């Protein structure tokens, strides 16, 4: 038998991955993934890219794209510059690089509850243990042994849809600075905004501290290009560049060029408004259908942005059994327990509203209601 690393003994199939396989079955209505609606994707009618992009490129990314991203991030209040922006092969890569940088077996990280499950998986793989962040008092309990890093999605969180207040963001940054905790802010949904709410990055309050801020073009341009970016405090940035170099040398250069064309397109702001309007309509129709079908069986908040509803069902609901029966009926969702760092059962589910068309969403929610009424 092959001898593998200790960390590999814990590799398990991702529950989401298995569900995505099920979701490929014809006729399946999937509320499970986080797939954007294809009608939001940027077009492919671009001029031919420059041929010199076919050669190896810089690890940090294309200079013109880095400069453009730095300008946008500085406008959000982040203390950054082009030399401290790195283009990623999708923002999942940023999570892996941050974990490599910070996590040994037994390292404590602070996370939200619920938290993004693919981040929890990566952190666990490197051996992390978890403490839960109390948003109203983020440094509470850190005492003598604070976590090494806090991972948060303050804006339209996955899976809860929650958006942190200005005070919560400031308190999080202050707690991290006070205890030398790295603040790792993941911000892939910030442009999918349906209601006014605070969106200033928490990392904007981290000057003098250690922080990593990352974003993604998967929701605003197209996921198939696998393009994200990060910026970080000066102590961490060069280390992240070297980890990126070891991971894949650099990110696809043609995609970087394409995304730069989209960012520089004068019609971009209008297009993003249309994307947000489209998703707002989908969210509202989904909320309507939820109220009609599940109003007596579940509670939720209207998400002010992002791609998900987070539902709390009756205490004691057997969510795994619900999922099994639901899949038999052709409807897929993600059990909330997968998003809990602390583990254990939970009468919660995450529903994605961006992919299914309104008619399919209606049918899918009616089936869920039937099963819950049983």
Q: Minimum distance from CB of 36 to a second copy (Å)?
A: 8
Nearer to a second copy, 39 or 374 (CB): 39
Residue 116 and residue 159 in contact, taking contact as beta carbons nearer than 8 Å = yes
- Choices 72-80, 90-98, 200-208, 326-334; region in contact with a second copy by CB under 8 A: 90-98
To the nearest whole angstrom, how small is the minimum distance from the Cβ of residue 115 to a second copy?
15
Q: CB nearer to a second copy: give 80 or 179.
A: 179
Least distance CB 278 / a second copy (angstroms): 16
Site for a second copy contains 96 (CB under 8 A): yes
CB-nearer residue toward a second copy: 12 or 316: 12
Rg of the chain over all Cα atoms, to the nearest angstrom:
21
Which tokens hold the place of 120? 């929890």
Binding of a second copy by 371 (CB under 8 A): no
Residue 75 interacting with a second copy (CB under 8 A): no
Angle formed at CA 16 by CA 231 and CA 332, multiple of 5 degrees: 130
d(CA 109, CA 132): 8
Angle CA(273)–CA(230)–CA(127) in degrees, nearest 5?
120
Residues 362 and 289: beta-carbon distance below 8 Å: yes
Contact present, 241 and 60 (Cβ < 8 Å): yes
**Both structure tokens of 301:** 């908040």
SS3 179: coil
Judged by CB under 8 A, the stretch of 74-82, 223-231, 274-282, 309-317 that binds a second copy is 223-231
Rounded CA-CA distance 350/334 in Å is 5
Which position has the token pair 């809860």?
160
**Shortest spacing between CB 299 and a second copy, in angstroms:** 30
Calculate the CA 283 to chain-centre distance. 18
What's CA 69's distance to the chain center, in Å?
19
Smallest distance, a second copy to C-beta of residue 22, A: 14
Q: Is 178 in the site for a second copy (CB under 8 A)?
A: no
41: contact with a second copy by CB under 8 A: yes
- Quick one: which of 236, 294, 341, 361 contacts a second copy (CB under 8 A)? 236
Decide: is 22 part of the binding site for a second copy (CB under 8 A): no
Report the site for a second copy in 98-157 (rule: CB under 8 A).
100-104, 107, 118, 121-122, 125-126, 148
End-to-end CA distance of the chain: 48
Map the footprint of a second copy across residues 239-298, applying CB under 8 A.
239, 242-243, 245-255
Using the rule CB under 8 A, is 35 a contact of a second copy? yes
Using CB under 8 A as the binding rule, whether residue 8 contacts a second copy is answered as: yes
Residue 17 makes contact with a second copy by CB under 8 A: yes
| Least distance between a second copy and beta carbon 13 (Å) | 7
* Nearby residues of 374 by Cβ (< 8 Å), 6 or more positions away: none
Query: Residues 347-366 vs a second copy: string with x where CB under 8 A?
Result: --------------------
* Least spacing, CB of residue 166 vs a second copy, in Å: 25
Of 204, 201, 106, 115, the residue nearest 151 (C-alpha):
115
Total residues contacting a second copy by CB under 8 A comes to 74
State how far the Cα of 100 lies from the Cα of 19, in Å rounded to an integer: 27
Residues 49-68 that bind a second copy (CB under 8 A): 49, 51-57, 59
DSSP state letters, 119-170:
HHHHHHHTT-EEEE--TTSTTTT-TTS--SEEEE--SS-TTT-----HHHHH
Which one of the spans 86-94, 189-197, 268-276, 288-296 is the region binding a second copy (CB under 8 A)? 86-94
- Among 143, 224, 267, 343, interactor with a second copy by CB under 8 A: 224
């Amino acid at each position: 038998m092959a001898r593998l690393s200790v960390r590999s003994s814990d590799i398990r199939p991702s529950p989401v991955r298995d569900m995505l396989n099920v979701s490929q079955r014809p006729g399946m209505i999937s509320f499970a993934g986080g797939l954007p609606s294809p009608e939001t994707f940027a077009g492919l009618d671009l001029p031919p890219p420059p041929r010199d992009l076919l050669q190896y490129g810089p690890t940090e990314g294309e200079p013109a794209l880095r400069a453009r991203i730095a300008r946008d991030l500085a406008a959000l209040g982040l203390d950054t510059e082009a030399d401290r922006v790195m283009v990623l092969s999708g923002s999942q890569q940023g999570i892996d690089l941050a974990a490599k940088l910070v996590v040994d077996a037994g390292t404590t990280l602070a996370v939200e509850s619920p938290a993004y499950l693919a981040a929890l998986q990566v952190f666990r793989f490197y051996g992390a243990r978890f403490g839960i962040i109390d948003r109203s008092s983020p440094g509470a309990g850190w005492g003598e042994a604070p976590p090494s890093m806090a991972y948060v999605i303050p804006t339209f969180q996955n899976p809860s849809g929650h958006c942190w207040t200005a005070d919560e963001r400031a308190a999080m940054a202050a707690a991290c600075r006070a205890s030398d905790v790295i603040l790792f802010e993941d911000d892939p949904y910030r442009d999918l905004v349906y209601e006014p709410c605070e969106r200033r990055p928490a990392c904007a309050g981290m000057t003098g501290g250690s922080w990593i801020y990352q974003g993604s073009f998967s929701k605003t341009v197209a996921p198939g290009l696998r393009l994200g970016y990060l910026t970080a405090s000066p102590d961490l940035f060069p280390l992240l560049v070297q980890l990126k170099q070891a991971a894949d040398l650099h990110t696809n250069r043609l995609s970087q060029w394409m995304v730069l064309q989209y960012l520089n397109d004068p019609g971009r702001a209008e297009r993003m408004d249309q994307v947000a309007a489209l998703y707002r309509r989908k969210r509202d129709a989904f909320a309507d259908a939820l109220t009609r079908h599940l109003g007596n069986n579940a509670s939720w908040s209207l998400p002010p942005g992002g791609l998900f509803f987070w539902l709390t069902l009756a205490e004691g609901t057997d969510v795994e059994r619900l999922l099994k029966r639901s899949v038999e009926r052709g409807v897929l969702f993600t059990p909330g327990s997968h998003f809990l760092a602390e583990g254990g059962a939970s009468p919660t589910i995450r529903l994605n509203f961006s992919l299914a068309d309104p008619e399919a969403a209606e049918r899918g929610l009616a089936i869920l209601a039937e099963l819950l009424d049983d």
